[in-house]
Amino acid sequence: MPRTSIPDNPALGGSRWNTFPAAGTTLTAREFFAATEPLLQGIIDDNALTSADGEVLEGQILATLALGSRETSLPLFLGPDSAPAARELGAQAETIGQELASWATEALERLLTDPVPLPAGPLVVRSHC
């Protein structure tokens, strides 16, 4: 699949629906995360946030990405009798979740002090339906 590059200032907001690449293209996790940072900026702006608890954000993301917690989005219960492939998947998912949570915490801290300008104006979120 062809790779795409994310513009330095993704134009989200205003009357635009999105700026993600066409179907059939791929993004790395980091590219996808960078492209969605304006959504976090929109939340910061809409709520006039000047500070936030990064530890709470990181904890909530880790809970959502955990494998067997109440808040999990990927229920995979691992134990000593689990198949080796399940244990390997679990270890990879935990590592990925920790990385995503750290990216979100870093982005929150950065965007609170150095906002990303939204070139199309205030962020407007709407549904195609």
How confident is the model over 63-83, as a mean pLDDT? 81
pLDDT of the residue at 125: 63
User: Are 120 and 11 in contact, with CB atoms under 8 Å apart?
Assistant: yes
The answer to pTM > 0.75 is: no
- The reported pLDDT for the residue numbered 42 is 81
pLDDT at residue 60, as a whole number: 86
Q: What is the pLDDT of residues 84-96, one digit of tens each?
A: 988 898 889 889 8
Q: What is the pLDDT of residues 3-19, one digit of tens each?
A: 555 445 444 444 455 55
Nearest CA-CA partner of 16 in 46, 48, 39: 39
